[in-house]
Structure 1
Amino acid sequence: MSTFLAALAGKAAEKWLGLLVLPGVCYLACVVAAAVLGHGDALNPGELQQAVDRLAAHPGASNAGAILLVAAGVLAAAALAGLCAGASAVAVERLWTMRGDQWPARALVRRRVRRWRQADAACEAAGTRSDLARATERRDTIALVRPRRPTWIGDRFHAVDQRVYDAYDLDLGSAWPRLWLVVPDAVRSELVSAREAYGAASRLAGWAPLYLILGAWWWPALLVAVVVAATAWVRGRTAAAVLADLVEATVDLHATTLAEELGVTGERPALTRDIGEAITTTLRKDPPPDPPDGPMPNA
């Protein structure tokens, strides 16, 4: 038991160090640079070196107790910055998957719909198979189904709900918690890994507002904010696509197992609209709903 607890504590400390402390220390370094250099000497390493030399020459710099206190303070401040970034990451995830029924999201949805319809019309007008393949790829780059969200990530998750319903009459929002319980452990592991990758992208994006605020005192922080936000968006799109594909694949491969567990059918069948509708009716305990418009449930 003691070995297990030690290993568990080690993993928790490693995760705490990776998620909060290390990114927080980088942010604190930028805070120090902003405090010492400001806008006027923003890229003057000599001024920063002189500040470090003055600090090293301070009488307390050789005091072990003072050094420990400073180290503890740095770790605490880094962890606090990491917690602030984590709170910002929650807002980022909501922003990435927000609904499109409020202004200005509604205007963004209309723009995405116009682009998607133009691409869809090009698919209809394609004369050859190669032209159709290129036109379909351009349309799918915008969204796999008619856009309903202001962002690509939001539409990618919405597409899973819509495609599953269109194919099987299965309400994924109702089925997913039960489906999660019947899939093999290997499938859960893949889904959890994909969800963690998506969460890591949103946590990275959570640092962008903090650097943006710091830019008021040190302009290079604005560049850092832009780079962090762009990197997080690219990683978020990639992770969202992987997660959405895995969720849809899980439904395709294991929804019939859910049907058996629910007693909808006695034998393992091919997933059809009738079975999907039967699962939906059983889980919702009311008549089948209209096509869903909610965000994809988290793995």
Structure 2
Amino acid sequence: MTTFLSALAGKAAEKWLALLVLPGVVYLAGVAAAVVLGHAHALDLAELQPAIDRVAAHPGASNAGAILLVAAGVLAAAMLAGLCARASAVVVERLCTSRGDRWPARLFVRRRVDRWRRADAACEAAGTRAELARAIERREAVALVRPRRPTWTGDRLHAADQRVYDAYGLELGAAWPRLWLTVPDAVRAELLSAREAYGAAFGLAGWATLYLPLGAWWWPALPAAAVVAATAWIRVRSATAVFADLVEATVDLHAITLAQELGLTGERPALTREVGDAITTTLRKDPPPDPHRDPPGAV
């Protein structure tokens, strides 16, 4: 157990170093460049030499205790920057996956719905298999199902829920915690890895939000923010697609095991819509409708 805990602590430290400290140190270097160089000497690295010389000539530069304190301060500041980036990443993720019920999200949803309808009409009008395949590809580039979210990322996650319900009548939100307990360890590991990649992609977007305001003092931070944001956008889309596909695949391959565990199938089980409805009713714990009971509000 001691060996296991030591290995776990080592992995946690490596992840902490990779996700927070190292990017934070790079960000602090950008902040230092912004303070010293500004816009006037933004790319003149020679201007950094006098500042470095002043720090080296400081009496505390040869003091081991002072050096340790400075190093600890730098690590603390880097970690604080990393935590700010993670907080920004959470905000970006919430915005990307939010429902399109309020303005201005409704405008984005409406625009995406219009694009999807045009692509869907092209599918209906396709005359050959090749034309149909191209039309379906263009429609799926907008969304796999009719858009309900203001962004592609939100719709891709929503599509996993919708497609599972359309195919099996299974409400993924109710079934997922129980399904998670029935899948093999290898499946859990794949899902956790995909979820981690998804979170890391949004973490990169969080760093982009920190570099953006830095451009007010040092203009090279603006193209840096643009590059980081573009990389984050690509990685978010890729990670979202992989994660959503794995969720659907997990349902396809293992939901029948959940049905067996709940005692809802016979000797030769098959995941049908009736079984999915039965799982949903069981897990939501809703009472079955009584056909002889008057509807609510009836006199």
Q: Structures share a fold, TM > 0.5? A: yes
Pairwise CA distance, 1:88: 0.9
Amino acid at match of 2:38: G
Q: Which residue of 1 aligns with 2:161?
A: 161
Q: Deviation per CA, 1:103-156, whole angstroms, max 9, x where unpaired? A: 111000000011111111111111000110011001001100000000000000
- The 5 Å alignment of 1:121-270 reads 121-270=121-270
1:75 aligns to 2:75 (yes or no): yes
1:93 aligns to 2:93 (yes or no): yes
- The alignment partner of 2:146 has SS state of coil
1:58 aligns to 2:64 (yes or no): no
Identity between Structure 1 and Structure 2 (%): 80
Q: Which runs of 5+ in 1 are unaligned?
A: 290-299
Q: Which residue of 1 aligns with 2:41?
A: 41
Consecutive aligned runs of 4 or more in structure 1 exceeding 4 Å deviation: none
Amino acid at match of 2:259: A
Q: Which residue of 1 aligns with 2:296?
A: none
Structure whose CA Rg is larger: 2
Tell me the TM-score normalised to structure 2 length: 0.94
Amino acid at match of 1:130: A
CA distance in 2, matches of 1:256, 1:78: 47
- The 5 Å alignment of 1:104-123 reads 104-123=104-123
- The alignment partner of 2:179 has SS state of helix
CA distance in 1, matches of 2:242, 2:7: 30
Q: Which runs of 5+ in 2 are unaligned?
A: 290-299
CA distance in 2, matches of 1:2, 1:20: 26
Pairwise CA distance, 1:9: 2.2
CA distance in 2, matches of 1:210, 1:134: 40
**Residues 47 and 162 (structure 1), Cα distance of their counterparts in 2 relative to 1, 3 Å cut:** same
Amino acid at match of 1:115: R
State which drifts further: 181-190 or 260-269.
260-269
CA distance in 2, matches of 1:121, 1:2: 62
Equivalenced residue count is 289
**Residues 4 and 279 (structure 1), Cα distance of their counterparts in 2 relative to 1, 3 Å cut:** closer
Amino acid at match of 1:145: V
Q: Which residue of 1 aligns with 2:294?
A: none
CA distance in 2, matches of 1:122, 1:199: 35
Amino acid at match of 1:259: A
Amino acid at match of 2:249: A
